[in-house]
A = this chain, B = another copy of it.
Amino acid sequence: MKNFIFHNPTKIIFGKDILKKVGLEVAQWGSRVMLVYGQNSIKKNGVYDQVVASLNENGIKIVEFFGVKGNPVLSHARAGALLAKQEKVDVILAVGGGSVLDECKAIAAGAALDADIWDLFLGKEPVLDALPLITVLTLPATGSEMNGGMVITNDETNEKFGFGAPVLYPKVSFLDPETTYSLPAKQVGYACSDIMSHLMEGYYTNTANFLPVQEHYIEGVLNGVMESVLVILEDPENYAARASFMWGATLGWNGLGIAGVPGASTPSHALEHPISALYDLPHGAGLSITTPALMRYKKDSIAPQILKFGKNVLDLDTNNVEEVIMALESFYLSIGTPIRLSDAGVKNPDIEAMALESEKLFTMWGIPNYYLNDIRAIYELMV
C-alpha cells in the first residue's frame, strides 16, 4: 500500500423526503444562493418545486442559472461564474446529475478567482478558493456529490479536462433515491457503466502484490451496484434498489476505492473523454466501449486482476481472460450500454484525432506506459 491522505468532509443527507431540509443547510452558508440546473427534468419530477419551497421558507434569495449540458461546456461555466460574481451569491446550489455538479465546481472556483477559469484546468492557477457548494443529486453516476473533482469540455478546443481540489468537496449533498425514479432506462445503464468504471480503473491499474481491503471493497461495491441495476431495470420504482444504486455510485468515486492503491490511474477515462467530446456520447456509454478494449489490449499484463474480477464480481470459474471480458460485455449489453463505437452510432471514428487528444490526458494525468501507438491500437479495438 502506498502512503495516502484521506479527507472527505462532505456531509451526505440520504433518503426519502429530505429535500425540505435544503434551505436550512443552505442558510448555514449564506442568504444568497445561485440555483444551477440543466433543463426541465427537475421541473417535471417535482424536485425544482421542493427545493425552491425550502429555500423560500428559509428566506434565501435565489439567483437562477440553467442550461447545463449533459457534457458541460466551459463557455456556460464562465457565464455562471460571472453571474455568481455580479450577483454576489454566497453559495452555489447544484441540482441535477454529475454534469450539473461538475459545472458548479467550475463555477464555484471561478467565482472566487480573478483569472479565467480555464487557467485552473491548465494548472496555470492553483485552486485555492471556491464558493461553498451544496448539491441535490438526481442522477447517480459520477460520484461528484462526494468528491473534489470535476470534468468539463472546452467548447472552443474540444478538450475535455478536469481538476480537483479540497475546496471543491460539496459541503452537503442531498441524495433522495425517489428523485431518480423518472430516469430513463438508457440513462440508468450509462450511469451504471460510469460507476463500474470508477471502481474498475483502480482495480486494474493497481500494482500491489497484496491489497485485500481495497480490492474487496471495490468488488463489494461493484457487486452491490450491479445487483441493484438489474432490479431497477425490471422495477424502476423499487426504492431499495434505487437507494443501493445511488449510495453505491457515491462510494464508487469518493476516494475510498483508490486510497493507498499504488498505480491507481484512469486510462479508461483518458480514452473516453475524447470520444464524448468529439461525438457527444454520454460518458457512461463511452466507458463501456473503452473498458473492454483496454482490458483486451492489456490482458497479458493484467490477467490476474481480470480473473479475480471474473471470480469475485462476475461469479465465473474460469482461467480464460477473454471469457471474463466477454461476460463483462454481455453485462453491459444487458443494461443497454454499448460496447463498440458503431453500436453507439459512431460509424467512421476519427481515431487519429481521438488518439492525439487522449495522449494529452495520459500525459497530463501522469498515466505511465501508454504511447500514441498503444492508444491508437486500443481505439482500433473499439470500432
Contact = CB atoms under 8 A, between A and B. Distances in A.
A314 interface: no
A8 B212 CA distance: 23
11 contacts: A1-B14, A1-B177, A1-B239, A2-B15, A5-B12, A7-B12, A210-B240, A211-B244, A214-B244, A217-B217, A220-B221
Given A9-B9, A213-B228, A243 B1 contact: yes
Given A14-B260, A15-B1, A15-B2, A213 B224 contact: yes
Contact of A15 (B3, B212, B219, B247): B3
A11 B216 CA distance: 23
A13 interface: yes
Nearest to A2: B15
A14 B214 CA distance: 14
Nearest to A18: B3
Interface in A203-219: 208-219
B216 A223 contact: yes
A259 B217 CA distance: 15
A235 B248 CA distance: 35
Interface centre among A9, A11, A244 (most CB of B within 10 A): A244
Given A212-B227, A217-B251, A240-B211, A8 B8 contact: yes
Interface string A234-261: 0000111101110110010000100110
Contacts of A220: 213, 216-221
A131 B224 CA distance: 39
A2 B243 CA distance: 9
A224 B215 contact: yes
Interface of A: 1-18, 177, 208-221, 223-225, 227-228, 231, 238-241, 243-245, 247-248, 251, 256, 259-260
A13 B8 contact: no
Contact of A216 (B4, B212, B221): B221
B213 A217 contact: no
Nearest to A217: B220
B260 A247 contact: yes
A256 B252 CA distance: 13
Interface centre among A13, A209, A210, A231 (most CB of B within 10 A): A210
B212 A217 contact: no
A173 to B, nearest CB: 10
Counting from the closest, the 4 A-B pairs by CB-CB distance are A3-B15, A220-B220, A213-B224, A216-B220
B256 A251 contact: yes
A233 to B, nearest CB: 14
Contacts of A240: 1, 208-211
A79 to B, nearest CB: 33
A11 B7 contact: yes
Nearest to A10: B7
A65 to B, nearest CB: 27
Given A224-B212, A240-B1, A11 B16 contact: no
A282 to B, nearest CB: 23
B5 A244 contact: no
Contacts of A17: 3
Contact of A251 (B14, B211, B213, B219): B213
